[in-house]
Chains A and B, each alone.
Chain A
Amino acid sequence: MVPGAFNYYRPDTVDDVIGLLGEWGDDARVIAGGHSLIPVMKQRLSDISHLIDLGGVEALKGIIIDGGTVTIGAMTTQHELITNDALASAAPIIREASLQIADPQVRYLGTIGGNVANGDPANDMPGLMQTLGATYHLAGPNGGRTVAARDFYEAAYFTAREDDEILTAVSFAATSGGYAYEKQKRKIGDYATAAAGVLLTMHGGSCSAASVALTNLSDTPVYCTDAVDILVGSSVDDEAVAAAVKAAVDVSDPVADTRGPVDFKKYVAGVIVKKAIESARSRA
């Protein structure tokens, strides 16, 4: 399988990337790790005449932890997310989730920017970014702007990013308290049948802050407001957990595919959300 022909560019700066996108419009695409894009290009499902490699743009790389804020450059690979110890203390849920993505070879090249910008509901990082309440940093011809991860996803492959913009970084507050990213998949390297990210802070036996989000259970990642409202203020006892799980499953909207029919996916969603809340509670 070989993709159709294209012109290849490898600029050094964000401005040059934006310039090329402006010049070639709809016919141009950026490539990061290529592990979502190249498979699609091989199937000739997208028509790309100008491919702009972000691999040469140093400004898009790296992890900065400054005070309580974590900023991760778009071109940071999943492998780098896993092996960065400072990140593992600032937000351990990132390592836990990244280790459940794909396989070692894919993780060496796949980037956080490609994963969140792709817009595929099956990607794990968008759900993770809902959990963390992350902010996305975009750059375009009119400069930079930010969009909340929870406002970014509109439908499968439709996001708030304009065609002439790129994502430069994601940022979020360092976490404290309990965390968990749980994923049900058929085998290593498979996308989620259902996955959930949970953060949970306990104070004197009561939950003071929580976050719950779902992956691959709708055409966008889902942040579960109702489940969060149930958990916050509760003691996260079995009754609260059961109510939160029900609220999360209620807002899921999976479609039937090779991973199973809708009822099965909703069932698995319930199991996974329960596991994630209980695991986060045990670490809080």
Chain B
Amino acid sequence: MEKMHVKMNVNGKEVDLLTEPRTLLIHALREELGITGPHVGCSSSHCGACTVDMNGMSVKSCTVFAAQANGAEITTIEGLGSPDALHVLQEMFKEHHGLQCGYCTPGMITRAYRLLQENPNPTEEEVRFGIAGNLCRCTGYQNIVKAILEAAAKMNEIKESA
């Protein structure tokens, strides 16, 4: 089967991959581009550890062919913040113990980012419903929800003072 060119904008950078059509987006990101923030948890569309933002949608990148992402704008956890300049969500996850082993965290934060873009003032229930596609085996979710609600408040404060 012939390889094909897949062009994407990943975290603000234009990339051009020559890859097999069957390559999944998660593998293109991790193995071909070295972007290892999004994780492989279940590989079966259930856990959300592989969540990335594609054209303004949270998607499970283990269930998207890179070919389908041709021309897309992709944001991963690497595009949200860096160790020197954490995203507000990352700061709040740190402050409120929203992570333990950290395996689910990149997917969780990338999903929470899109949720807050669509709904900047969510209720606790809306946060829980909005992150229902992301599983965490460690935290029991309580502190994740708290961190997202605090991040929403902080982001709104920053917006108001701007």
Contact = CB atoms under 8 A, between A and B. Distances in A.
B137 to A, nearest CB: 14
Contacts of A103: 48, 132-133
Task: Specify which of B4, B131, B132 lies most central, judged by the most chain A CB atoms within 10 Å of its CB.
Answer: B132
Interface in B58-99: 58-60, 63-65, 67-68, 70
Given A2-B22, A38-B45, A42-B43, 8 more contacts: A8-B65, A53-B67, A55-B68, A104-B131, A105-B133, A109-B59, A109-B64, A189-B132
Given A1-B44, A7-B1, A106 B60 contact: yes
Interface in A223-272: none
B138 interface: no
B2 A7 contact: yes
A6 interface: yes
Given A8-B21, A34-B64, A105 B1 contact: no
A149 to B, nearest CB: 26
Interface string B106-137: 00000100010000000000000111110000
A3 interface: yes
B102 to A, nearest CB: 20
9 contacts: A6-B1, A7-B21, A31-B68, A34-B64, A42-B44, A104-B111, A104-B130, A105-B58, A189-B133
Nearest to B61: A105
A104 B133 contact: yes
B157 to A, nearest CB: 26
Interface of A: 1-8, 10, 31, 34-35, 38-39, 42, 51, 53, 55, 79, 102-106, 108-109, 188-189
Nearest to B131: A104
Given A5-B20, A53-B67, A105 B4 contact: no
A188 B67 contact: no
